[in-house]
Amino acid sequence: MEHLQCLIIGSGPAGYTAAIYAGRANLSPVLYEGIQPGGQITTTTEIENFPGYPQGVTGFGLMEDLRKQAERFGAEVRSGIVTSVDFSCEKKKVTVDGKTEIEADAVIIATGASAKYLGLPDETKYAGMGVSACATCDGFFYRKKNVAVVGGGDTACEEALYLSGICNKVYMIVRKSFLRASDIMQKRVFETPNVEILFEHETRSLFGENGVEGAVLQDTKNGKEVRIAIDGFFLAIGHTPNTKVFAGVIDLDEKGYIQTKSGTQQTNVEGVFAAGDVADPVYQQAITAAASGCRAAIELEKYLRMK
């Protein structure tokens, strides 16, 4: 069985920052990329709030830079998904892709979070046929068409603005009477003429012959049914942490986020640390993820040194 000093699971800003710090501490970190190499941020268009990029940077560009920086200090980046873990002994065992077993002295979990769906049967029925949770990935297919974005947070605004540049019209379906997004994003949405916000509306179903042709909504102010003609239905209602594989082993909160000991990145298992969105239900920013990856690597180095 292969033995590692430092194993990092996940390749978003948290995982790569941890790899940079662990690499510079001579720990020869190995990082498994997981389902989405580069993490969720690669599905974002422009990142304007990551320090050091005064002109902004694409999600993909930022992750390329972080990967190169980690590799420069000896981190090894591998493709593969961790499918099970056994943290019961001092050496932490993980299985990759259901077959490769590896043991590590210490582990950093940085598996991030994935987009949430409403839970409607039609989302499954029309998966890949009009339903998407990533405007940057799929927006191109809806050129000059009408689409809807569900949600009222920063992600929903960002998706709506991106789609407004490609599509004929963008509806935002918002369940409350206000947006939750930051002021700057709200302002941009309000100022975009081809975005129409349907406040206090909820989606009941989707319809269409060979793909989405429309959505049935309910106006919750008066209970009336509203039908909109759309070809694309984009979800932007938040995220679920990717912690399934750790359930029962690592302490999770009621929403499934990893719980860390106060003021640290340490989980309930000694030598196992968590960083990034997987352990952060609050901030969920690339920069906070990167910062927690740094903290996790520093704590991991100290743990190995004191062992």
Q: Is 157 among the residues known to form the active site?
A: no
Q: Is 155 in the site for ligand NDP (CB under 6 A)?
A: yes
CA 281 to chain CA centroid, Å, is 11
C-alpha dist (Å) from residue 5 to 68, 70, 75: 21, 16, 12
Residue among 195, 209, 205, 197 nearest 162 (CA)? 195
Q: Cβ of residue 264: shortest distance to ligand NDP, in angstroms?
A: 22
What number of chain residues touch ligand NDP (CB under 6 A)? 17
Q: Cβ of residue 209: shortest distance to ligand NDP, in angstroms?
A: 26
Out of 152, 208, 276, 293, the residue judged to bind ligand NDP by CB under 6 A? 152
Q: Is 137 among the residues known to form the active site?
A: yes
The site string for ligand NDP over 63-102 (x = CB under 6 A, - otherwise) reads ----------------------------------------
What the block records as the tokens of 35 is 């389902």
Burial 166-182 (b: 16+ CB within 10 A, else e): bbebbbbbbeeeebebe
Residue among 260, 293, 246 nearest 87 (CA)? 246
Question: Interacting stretch for ligand NDP, rule CB under 6 A, among 18-26, 97-105, 172-180, 223-231?
Answer: 172-180
Q: Is 277 in the site for ligand NDP (CB under 6 A)?
A: no
145 vs 175 by CB, closer to ligand NDP: 175
The DSSP annotation for 180-241 comes to: -S-HHHHHHHHT-TTEEEEETEEEEEEE-SSS--EEEEEETTT--EEEEE-SEEEE-S-EEE
Q: Cβ of residue 253: shortest distance to ligand NDP, in angstroms?
A: 15
C-alpha dist (Å) from residue 224 to 195, 200, 206: 22, 11, 16
The interaxial angle of helices 13-24 and 59-72, nearest 10 deg, is 20
Name the catalytic one among 86, 97, 137, 253.
137
Out of 24, 180, 188, 204, the residue judged to bind ligand NDP by CB under 6 A? 180
Q: Is 284 in the site for ligand NDP (CB under 6 A)?
A: yes
Name the catalytic one among 6, 105, 122, 138.
138
What the block records as the tokens of 43 is 């599905």
7 vs 235 by CB, closer to ligand NDP: 235
Residues with a catalytic annotation lie at 134, 137-138
Residues that bind ligand NDP (CB under 6 A): 49, 118, 150-156, 158, 175-176, 180, 237-239, 284
